[in-house]
A and B are shown apart, each in its own frame.
Chain A
Amino acid sequence: MQNITNLVQDAAKKLLEDKTVDLVVGFSGGSLPLRSTPCFIRTPEDTAKLVWDLSCENNLANYLRKKNQKIGVVAKGCDTRSIVALIKENQIDRDKVYIIGVPCSGMVDRNKVEQLLEGKELLEITRDGDTLALKGKGFSKTAGISELLHNSCRSCGHPNPVLFDQMIGEPVAAGEVDTFADITEMEAKAAADRRAFFTDQFSKCIRCYACRNACPMCYCEECFVDCSTPEWIGKTIDPQDSMLFQIGRVFHLAGRCVDCGACERACPMGINLTLLNRKLVKDVKDLFGAEAGLSLDDKAVLDTFAPDDPQPFLVKE
């Protein structure tokens, strides 16, 4: 990790010195462990702030849309997939981004760490191979990294950047092909159970729209939830309104969601958004055999039409 941090810093420094880019978007360390935060570097001297660790979890593709400067970005597998998807939607000019690709072996979920430590404050973290030593005031614990990863990272099938101008470090072994076991399990439950589950989840929603803002693919200038004339959906925190909001959000991401999990990580209430998002990711894969953001050449799946497209939704006559 330290090694990658140095390589990222060197790459960013060189880009800024050569004036290849005006700005580098990356991560800087937080004041506490596992709190790395997006940062914007404009001078070669400032590149020392850049880090690469196990909490570089934000999707930086979010900061690249409609910019006039030339931007360098430090990007993981999921970030590059979002960038590819945004280039295809004409939101990012390929000539104006310089992608510093970093293969990613998954990011650590702070909530899982918190649960493991039973709420005690984490003050120091050191990595030893596949285990992490977590230290705080008067305690220390070790845990396997794989137990603490985000769910979306565990099921990630594309940890290596799909598009890059420069790759840092060695590609990591791609995980197993995503089987969508979680979604299949959910689908197998009775409708009433699913309804009960989602009711419970969405009654937590406070409609802060952090999920929408964290999502690189949610970029409409005027979002359907902000509209008041006409008011497309209710704006209260009634679970029914929240549910409709989430269904609308997920539906707008059909065939575009790269399953980076940024929405769920942004959620302050810990709502399981993955189970709703991934349902559509799975449907698109099952019906059309497509995954978003893997290649610049193919057309977006819902932009294409074939007379033999499957139509399992039609009413049976």
Chain B
Amino acid sequence: MKSLLEYAGVEEGRVNFSWVSAAEGGRFAELVKDVTEKVKDLGPNKGLIEKRIEV
């Protein structure tokens, strides 16, 4: 999925996956913090494609 979306033009790093067990609260918090920072650096999502329909 990540590979396909990035192939189709979504910026690298916007799609993130990880395994976290329900018992790993600390790790979950860390991950969310990291990912949030990463995505903030990327800026607003431009969407899959920029052009909207021309009427």
Contact = CB atoms under 8 A, between A and B. Distances in A.
Interface of A: 186-187, 191-192, 194-196, 198-199, 202-203, 236-240, 243-244, 247, 250-251, 276, 279-280, 283, 312-315, 317
Interface string B21-55: 00000000011001100000000000111111100
A83 B34 CA distance: 46
Nearest to B51: A199
A202 B49 contact: yes
Contacts, number: 78
Interface of B, secondary structure class, is loop
Nearest to B16: A315
21 contacts: A191-B9, A191-B12, A194-B8, A195-B8, A195-B48, A195-B49, A199-B49, A203-B53, A236-B53, A239-B49, A243-B48, A243-B49, A247-B5, A247-B8, A251-B1, A313-B1, A313-B2, A313-B17, A314-B19, A315-B17, A315-B31
Contacts of B30: 317
A245 to B, nearest CB: 11
A158 B45 CA distance: 41
Contacts of A280: 4
Contacts of B17: 313-315
Interface of B: 1-12, 16-19, 30-31, 34-35, 47-53
Contact of B8 (A236, A243, A315): A243
A240 B48 CA distance: 6
Nearest to A190: B9
Contacts of B12: 191
B7 A314 contact: no
A82 B19 CA distance: 34
A317 B28 CA distance: 12
Nearest to A237: B53
A203 B53 CA distance: 8
B4 A240 contact: no
A247 B3 CA distance: 11
Contact of A279 (B4, B31, B51, B52): B4
Given A199-B49, A237-B53, A314-B18, A279 B35 contact: no
B8 A283 contact: no
